[in-house]
Amino acid sequence: MKPSRKTLVLYGLAGLAGVAGLGLACIGSVLPLLPLAGVMVIAAGLIWYARYDDQLRRRMLAGEGPHWVIWCREEAVGAIRDADYAALQHRLLHDPRLALATLLRASGVALRQLGTALLCLPTALFWLLLIGVVLRPGLLTGFEQIPAQMWQTLALIWLVPAAGWARSPAASIPPSPGAGL
């Protein structure tokens, strides 16, 4: 596939992902926000990939350009033309093994961060609550005065949409008039 056509396809996919994200946003529910964020990240990644690939191709085709000095252990060991350096970066950008390794490493880092957050956040909240109770003894009073109607309303806000998403076609059939007699 030609580089210009490949860039055009990537921009088209990014635009399609953006339109799909806007469509999810127009639904107006809370749950589509997660797919919306995912779609927007994918669209931004596709746009970045297309632009970076196009920039590397332009640098490879440019005959003249800066020379980069290669350093190893605080000592200059050589120099490389910008076109050659761009060719190396382009080859690395399109290597599927490196892409998979990068994806796996980034996923591992994200999982470790999530694990750290799941361990640290409850501990931090406990100590903040304890410090708040020590510094202001009446902090936790008043929860029993919250009307039960508000708790029921909050439960309905969260449970009714969940029941609607989990509804099967058989559950939406109204009962017959003589049923249950």
Residue 170 in this model has a pLDDT that exceeds 60: no
Residue 104 in this model has a pLDDT that exceeds 90: yes
Task: For 7-29, give the secondary structure using H, E and C.
Answer: HHHHHHHHHHHHHHHHHHHHHCC
Q: Which amino acid is at 30?
A: V
How would you class 4 by CB atoms within 10 Å of its CB: exposed for 0-12, middle for 13-18, buried for 19 or more?
Answer: exposed
Task: For 136-154, give the secondary structure using H, E and C.
Answer: CCCCCCCHHHCCHHHHHHH
Identify the top-confidence range among 6-10, 22-26, 119-123. Answer: 119-123
Determine which of 28-42, 126-140, 167-181 has the lowest per-residue pLDDT on average: 167-181
- With cut-offs at 50, 70 and 90, classify the pLDDT of residue 62: confident
Q: Please choose, from the candidates 32, 31, 35, the residue with its C-alpha nearest in 3D space to the C-alpha of residue 43.
A: 35
Mean pLDDT for 72-96 is 90
pLDDT of residue 111: 92
Residue 133 in this model has a pLDDT that exceeds 70: yes
Q: Tell me the helices (H) and strands (E) count for the chain, helix number first.
A: 5, 2
